[in-house]
Amino acid sequence: MCNSILFKELKLKYLPVAIILADELPEDAIQLKPSKEAHGCSLSALRAAAKGETIYLSKETPGCPGMKSGMGFTDIPNIPGGIEYFLSCGRGEGFPPGEKLKKTPEIARAYYGQLPQNVMDSNYVIFKPLEEADKHKASLVAFLVNPDQLSALVSLHAYEADSLDTAYMPMSSGCSTIVKLPLAEMKKDNPRAIIGLADIFARPLFDADILSFTVSYKDFERMESYAKDCFFQAETWNGVKERL
């Protein structure tokens, strides 16, 4: 059982996951072995950790072509034919088919050039149930949530902010919304929360009503403290809480 106030108040189905950057591995860590059923997706590590396991990935972990980039180990994935063709129309015979996520290679190239770089300086990314993690080592905390739970987390993250731009949901790979983009946000004065799993290729790994919400560990602690005196104690919240 997780002792997080948020876990209990939101009646989460899945455990919050601590994301740890490390050069050495804990004894209970298991290297991810992406399955055919998961299409080699590294996000199966997140799913496993949310169910209680400790999973790690490294540059040597097998996975889909974009895994090393989404996890932050590299800036641009080494995909035959180029990432711009992989994301768009493909390059033809002998190359991977295009995913048709971008209309043209030129648009895809410009899009990919905006993704953060140099976010990782560790050998491993470890996914571990939050309750079992060392708070001094965790960089990020990821939640798997339904829309009602997501609404609470978005509101709580913005509780002390005077800005509208406190969370965003990028069109990006599922793994980059869990690791690469949140790590880049941590370097900003006012880091935004990242809402993820809009990646249509990652969607089949999770329940149909599940999205992710990832923040820095520091922001997670801040949200835990807010939970003791916020809209959770107001009548407004009851309309949502009663159906969680």
Average pLDDT for the chain: 92
Q: What is the pLDDT of residues 8-33, one digit of tens each?
A: 999 999 999 999 999 998 888 898 88
Rounded Cα distance, 182 and 140, in Å = 8
Give the lowest-confidence range in 153-157, 201-205, 227-231: 201-205
Kind and range of the H or E element at 215? strand 211-216
**pLDDT grade for 221, boundaries at 50, 70 and 90:** very high
Look at strands 124-129 and 17-22 and give their pairing: antiparallel
* Averaged pLDDT, 216-243: 95
Residue 14 gets which letter from DSSP?
S
Where does the chain have alpha helices with state H? 5-9, 44-49, 67-70, 83-86, 105-112, 147-157, 174-175, 181-186, 217-226, 235-241
Helix axes 147-157, 217-226, angle to 10 degrees: 90
Which pTM value belongs to this model? 0.93
**pLDDT grade for 40, boundaries at 50, 70 and 90:** low
- For the cut 90, the answer to whether the pLDDT of residue 90 exceeds it is yes
Residue 35: predicted pLDDT? 62
* Averaged pLDDT, 139-145: 98
**pLDDT grade for 59, boundaries at 50, 70 and 90:** confident
User: Looking at 13-150, which runs of residues are DSSP E strands?
Assistant: 17-22, 30-31, 55-57, 124-129, 138-145
Q: What is the pLDDT of residues 177-192, one digit of tens each?
A: 999 999 999 999 999 9
**pLDDT grade for 92, boundaries at 50, 70 and 90:** very high
Q: What is the pLDDT of residues 103-128, one digit of tens each?
A: 999 999 999 989 998 888 899 999 99
* Averaged pLDDT, 153-172: 96
Q: What is the pLDDT of residues 99-108, one digit of tens each?
A: 999 999 999 9
* Averaged pLDDT, 168-172: 95
22 beta partners: 124
